[in-house]
Amino acid sequence: MKSIQEFGVKPENSAALNKINLQKAIDWASSIGAALWVEPSDEPYHIEGGIILKDNVSLIGVHGPTPRGTIHQNKKQPVGSVFKITDRKNVFITVKSSTQIKGIQFWYADQTLNDPSAIIVYPPTIQVSKTSFTQGVYMSCLSFYGEYVAFDFNASREFPCELMTFEHCYGFPLSGEFIRMNYVYDVPRILHCHVNPASQRFIGGQIKRNVVDAVIAKKTFAYAINNTDNAQIIDLFTFGTYGGIFLGEESYGQLTNFNFDCVAVGILKQGSNSKNRNWQITQGSIIANTGEKVENIHPIIIEGQGHTSLTNVEAFSGGNSALTPVKEQMSWDYLLVRGNKKLSVSVFGARMRNYMSDSPVTIKNENAILQFSACIDKNENFYNTIID
């Protein structure tokens, strides 16, 4: 392991020079599979985008996740292993195979915290290669402040990627998109990730309510997955995005231990066939209360084909001062099922409350079959029923 400062990446340098020198360091490390140490400093490393993290390189900083920002003694800025990003044209860093990014903070110093009309549409911070097959990328203990999209792992059918791992990553993307994945095959993992507008409270303060409302208005999902084999998703949190997680029509896997708070839609699950477009979803909580008129607020939406198993997934609604909730402070229902193809849903142990509809489930698919067991409705009565 060598410090990036040994290659001339210094806090006092220009962003252009630091980019050149960091790329030189990466070129050196790629041939031997070395790690580069992002040496901590009281001033961040200002670096232009367009960096390529070539095969075999690890970029490692000092931090675990820093969900409120590290604290400079005299300035509203983070300290430690910090990359300062102001480049509005280029993806900050593109990752290739067998790479690692760990323990680093990404700070967009010019991003607004309080003016929705001034949101800067930055390119993604970390992006998978669009021109090569990428396998085995590990991203851990990363914190983002002011990003627009944190992780763009929308690969292509021509150049899919495999075995991506995201864990212990924190931020609040002003596009509403924290991790987006497409054509990520062979067991991708999203573990212990947290999206919250208070992510830089110690730096510049919590992102203001009107900016959170603007993020919700984009109608995007904090986590989005499609064309994916057997995704493993554990312990996710999001607050103040339109959607919690999108499970696309060409995806399947397991989602467990989650909280999607102050969203319009918690889970949108699709499916293109009945063989293996199935999701097992368990141990979660959804608070759907914002971003739409109440008739369009649904904790869970299921459409397409395949089976969905929901176990111990509760939903409730209410007010929250960090954003603008719907005036009724309720969702419309617990579950909306729509489409025209046969699909199946089983629900066990769900606590369903604070919805306006007479029934916790809205059926807009005549071919759907559903079974609820040991569930509790808004009147605190058992809800056990079969719909076919």
Q: Tell me: the pLDDT tens digits for 273-325? A: 999 999 999 999 999 999 999 999 999 999 999 999 999 999 999 999 999 99
pLDDT value for 186: 87
Residue type, 114: N
pLDDT of residue 198: 94
**Residue 317 carries which side chain, given as an amino acid letter?**
S
In which band, very low, low, confident or very high, does the pLDDT at 204 lie, cut at 50, 70 and 90? Answer: confident
Question: Residue 236's pLDDT band (boundaries 50, 70, 90)?
Answer: very high
2-39 core/surface letters (b: 16 or more CB in 10 A; e: else): eebbebebbeebebebbbbbbbebbeebbeeebebbbb
Tokens representing 290 are 């914002």
- Maximum CA pair distance of the chain? 67
| Torsion angle, alpha carbons of 272, 274, 276, 278, to 10 | 90
8-state DSSP, 216: H
Q: CA-to-CA distance for 98 and 114, rounded, in angstroms?
A: 39
Please give the average per-residue pLDDT across 230-257, as a whole number.
Answer: 98
> What would the two tokens of residue 111 be?
């991003």
Q: Evaluate if residue 156 carries a pLDDT over 90.
A: yes
| CB neighbour class for 282 (10 Å; exposed up to 12, middle 13-18, buried from 19) | middle
Distance (Å, rounded) from C-alpha 1 to C-alpha 34?
A: 6
* pLDDT bracket for residue 256 (50, 70, 90): very high
Radius of gyration of the chain (CA): 22
Residue spans of the domains in the chain: they are 1-199, 219-387
Name beta bridge partners: 193. Answer: 236
- Where does the pLDDT of residue 72 fall: very low under 50, low under 70, confident under 90, or very high at 90 and above? very high
What is the SS3 assignment for 220? coil
DSSP 6-29: GGT--TTS-HHHHHHHHHHHHHHH
- Residue linked to tokens 């007479």: 358
CA 93, distance to chain mean position in Å, is 18
The CATH classification of domain 1-199, taken from the options 1.10.287.110, 3.30.530.20, 1.10.8.60, 2.160.20.10: 2.160.20.10
In this predicted model, what pLDDT tens digit does every residue of 348-360 receive, in sequence order?
999 999 999 999 9
> What token pair was written down for 336?
């909306």
Q: For the residues 366-376, what does the mean pLDDT come to?
A: 98
